[in-house]
Amino acid sequence: MDNKKIGIMLIIIGIILASAIFVVKLKEDVIVNKFINQEGTCFLEDGTCLHADRSLIGYILGWFISAIIIALGLFLSLFEKSQRAIVSTLEKQKQIQTEQEKFDILMKGLDADEKKVIMAVKDQDGITQQTLRLRTDMHKSKLSITLDRLEKKGLIKRVEKGKTNEVFLKINI
User: What is the C-alpha to C-alpha distance for residues 172 and 154, in angstroms, rounded to an integer?
Assistant: 12
pLDDT of residue 20: 92
pLDDT at position 94 is 86
pLDDT of residue 54: 67
Total residue count of the chain as it appears in this document: 173
Residue 95: the pLDDT is: 82
* pTM for this predicted structure: 0.48
Q: How far is CA 108 from the centre of its chain?
A: 34
Q: Look at residue 81 in the predicted model and tell me its pLDDT.
A: 67
User: What is the pLDDT, as a whole number, of residue 28?
Assistant: 85
Q: Which residues of the chain have pLDDT under 50?
A: none
Q: How far apart are the first and last CA of the chain?
A: 36
The pLDDT, as a whole number, for residue 87 is 79
Helical axes 56-78 vs 3-39, angle rounded to 10°: 160
- Neighbouring CB atoms inside 10 A of 31's CB total 11
